[in-house]
A and B are shown apart, each in its own frame.
Chain A
Amino acid sequence: MRRRILLTGIRIITRAKRRAIVFVILFTFISGLMLFSLNFVWDAHSTTLLVQSKGIILRPKGFTYVSYDENLEEKLARYDDVEKVVAVWFVNLSELEDLGVNAIMVAVNPDNKWCYVLSESFDLSPSSLREGDYIAREGEIMLSSANVLNISKNATVSLRPSSILKIGKYSFHVVGMLSEDKLPNGGMNWIIAHESDVKRICEKYGLQKYVFGYIVIVEGWLFSGWDNVERVGILLKNEYKDFEVIYASANDNYRLFSPMIVLFAFSVFGCLIVGALFSYLDIRLRKRSLAILRSLGWSTGNLRLLTLAELLFVTILGFFFGLLALAIYRLFTAQIYVPLSVYTVLISFVVIMVSTQVPGGYLYQRSITKVKPVDALRLIER
């Protein structure tokens, strides 16, 4: 019976074609906006934004790099409120003349790929990709778009995605090219490889490990993390005087996220307004029908369900198109975007559903129960 009434609601809203289309478009726009804004606020966990908002960067003072100190890494990881420590380390292949490759090989763990950002001009995260894909597994590498590798004393080669590079007995697949201005310059060639590959080469040839810096991620969800960052940051600043300790203050973070929060608030507000508008129009335009159904023995609960089905139909369809619109927008603007997480989609959906139903529910409650069958009929007779 509920199912039958819900289906009837969907049937009648699809028959009011113009109104259905207008509201689906409105909800598409609002859903897109909400997904877009929540995407940044919530999904920052998996992006470079995370390092900006919850990360502390330790960079050697006065040097570009120093020898890798594993004790330091362990020590950092033991602090309270520290969730994760990632060392950005590398080996210099030109230290081994036998290999004949003059390049720096940086170790990257694809699971932490959002972490590899030390500064404006040192960013190995996916947002620096110029073409191809980010490495996903062992045996894959990325190069700087400016790479020209020496293969012997007087021959060079420049590689492209899908080229194969052999270092000793190891061969690597080039899968992507990073923008050259996201890597420190100085005539250096860059190979960004999977951590375990670099470890293997390092052990095999007894190469020295160096570190560009350490990234410390602070525990806690975004907003609580912001305050912890300042506490841990000050601690590290006092403790490690040889390092430059870089972190964003909570205030910086609020500034970074506030446009998105405003956008989110705006989309919630939009839901309330459009939801109310839809319900208002629905009640106005269906007044006669609702009155007739009431006189035919439909309860106010039945009528509420009927009108709810109409609203649900346009919001759900709008949400679906919102997702689609966002995907299409991303497809046609050639930038690397923060991936949408399931949570973002779920939360947006719930927020949209609730915020559209609230004013609608209130209006329906007031109007349908107010109409007594006699008044309804008298209203019609005129």
Chain B
Amino acid sequence: MSEPLFEVRDVVKRYEKEGREITVLDKVNLSIGLGDFVVIVGATGSGKTTLINILSGLDKPDSGKVYFEGEDMTRMSEEELADLRRENMGFVFQHFNLIPEFTALENVESPLYPTKLSDREIRTRALKVLELVGMTHRVNHYPDELSGGEKQKIAIARALITNPVVIFADEPTAALDPQSEKEVIWLLREINRKRRTTIILATHNRALASSTDKVFELKNGKLVRVSGGRT
């Protein structure tokens, strides 16, 4: 078996809350391979976002180690982590986090603006991922003019434009109607299947997981493996 994409060892994360300390992640262990579709389920406040932030290097654990492609993320500088994120990771959020001043197309292109790529190349790539998510007909609309499901598809296209190896989707469907929810999850699976992009999906809705996924549950700071899928 090849080296895993993520390797999490005994990660502990505590927060100070109203004067007392709570342990959000209590010695969490996790291994994620390239091309996995990982679902992390847990009630609101169970620590899903905290775990994702630690996996993506946005936050650091109080103790324990996180390895990305064998490299120890807990020892990297903020700058190194920022580069790592930009080159390897895509993000999809519950509240879409589209930039209201940008059109759909510009939103998708925006991660590439501060790169050396030419305008034309950026445009070509954006149109390609917009086609993948089926949103080519809405490119010149502003986020305000789009439905929740459409916004999330634009957000997925934006996460894809950098060709990431992993996409973090933190409650991507919590603000959506059931139909859009289905479409978004289907889209994530398509991306996982077609591009072998690792998907890490955090949700409170256990029903979103399918039999082929690697499913984990966060409860009282502990991460428990629920079902295994392929590995």
A residues adjacent to B (C-beta < 8 A):
1, 4-5, 8, 11-12, 15-16, 286, 288-289, 292-293, 295-299, 302, 373-374, 377, 380-381
How far does the alpha carbon of A12 sit from the alpha carbon of B174 in the complex, in Å? 30
Tell me, in angstroms, the Cα distance from A296 to B111 when the chains sit together: 6
List B80-129 residues whose CB lies under 8 Å from chain A: 82, 85-86, 91, 93-95, 97-102, 106, 110-111, 113-116, 119
**How far does the Cβ of B204 sit from chain A's closest Cβ, in whole Å?**
14
- Are the C-beta atoms of A1 and B116 separated by less than 8 Å? yes
Q: Give the docked Cα–Cα distance between A288 and B59 (Å).
A: 19
Query: Are B114 and A298 interface neighbours, CB within 8 A?
Result: yes
Query: Whole-angstrom distance from the CB of A340 to the nearest CB of chain B?
Result: 37
The answer on a CB contact under 8 Å between A380 and B97 is yes
Structural contact, B97 and A297, CB atoms closer than 8 A: no
- Minimum CB–CB distance from A314 to chain B (whole Å) comes to 15
Q: Across the interface, do A1 and B115 meet the contact criterion of CB distance under 8 Å?
A: yes
B146 proximal to A (CB < 8 A): no
Q: Is B30 an interface residue (CB 8 A)?
A: no
Cβ-neighbour of A296 out of B53, B58, B110, B119 (below 8 A)? B110
Determine the main DSSP class of B at the interface with A: loop
Q: Check if B58 sits within 8 Å of A381, measured CB to CB.
A: no
- A373/B114 contact (C-beta < 8 A), A297-B82, A381-B95 known: no
Q: Chain B interface: which size bin?
A: 20 to 34
State the B residues within 8 Å of A (CB): 49, 53, 58-59, 82, 85-86, 91, 93-95, 97-102, 106, 110-111, 113-116, 119, 158, 162
The verdict on A373 contacting B99 (CB below 8 Å), with A5-B114, A297-B85, A298-B114 known, is no
Identify 25 residue pairs between A and B in the complex whose beta-carbon atoms are under 8 Å apart, listed by A's number: A1-B116, A4-B119, A12-B102, A286-B101, A289-B99, A289-B100, A293-B110, A295-B58, A295-B97, A296-B86, A296-B110, A297-B82, A297-B86, A297-B114, A298-B113, A298-B114, A302-B114, A373-B58, A374-B53, A374-B58, A374-B59, A377-B97, A381-B49, A381-B93, A381-B94
The answer to whether A293 and B101 touch across the interface, beta carbons within 8 angstroms, is no
The complex places the Cα of A381 from the Cα of B202 at a distance, in Å, of: 15
- Which single member of A5, A286, A295, A381 contacts B113 (CB below 8 Å)? A5
B93 to chain A, nearest CB (A): 7
A299-B114 in contact given A377-B93, A381-B93 (Cβ < 8 Å): yes
A381–B91 Cα distance when bound, in Å, is 14
